[in-house]
Amino acid sequence: MILELHATPQEVMRAVETLQAFGREKQMSEKDLFGLALALEECGSNIVNHALRHDSQQTFQVSIEHNANTITVELRDSGPEFDPTRAPINSMAGSEENRPPGGWGIQITRHFIDNIIYRRENGQNILRLTRKIASHA
């Protein structure tokens, strides 16, 4: 399944809702679906906010693939090159005032996703998020 989306928060939520409906149709567990949906919302919001700078004329793509034991969500955008997998791991240690702002979306994504792969190809950022899912055999 492939979605072409405009760079708006509403379109990010449309992608999340589509993923949730797709997952329920495939009888995925709510736990698996929650983590995937949250990761998609975080990554999609970063594309809208940072890569495409809220320009609703810009578009990005979300594709969803499913097989027996994994589901993969791929996001593609034509914003400036940015590899979120190289973002430092934020620490919860120390006082809140001393923690750097931002960067928590990738931490959330890392928590819920089993494999995150980034590549730059033909002027596009491509981020693949794969989660192992429980078999319903």
Look at the chain and count its residues.
137
pLDDT at 136: 53
Taking only the tens of pLDDT, the chain with its 137 residues reads: 999 999 999 999 999 999 999 999 999 999 999 999 999 999 999 999 999 999 999 999 999 999 989 999 999 999 999 999 988 776 554 455 554 555 667 888 999 999 999 999 999 999 999 999 876 54
pLDDT at 131: 95
Q: What domains appear along the chain, each with residue ranges and CATH number?
A: 2-132 (3.30.565.10)
pLDDT at 137: 44
Shortest CA distance to 16 belongs to which of 3, 26, 29, 31?
Answer: 3
Six token digits for residue 25: 């149709």
pLDDT at 2: 97
One DSSP character per residue, the chain reads -EEEEESSHHHHHHHHHHHHHHHHHTT--HHHHHHHHHHHHHHHHHIIIIISTT-TT-EEEEEEEE-SSEEEEEEEE-SS---GGGSPPP---S-GGGSPSS-HHHHHHHHH-SEEEEEEETTEEEEEEEEE-----
Residue 109 to residues 4, 34, 74, Cα–Cα distance (Å): 22, 11, 13
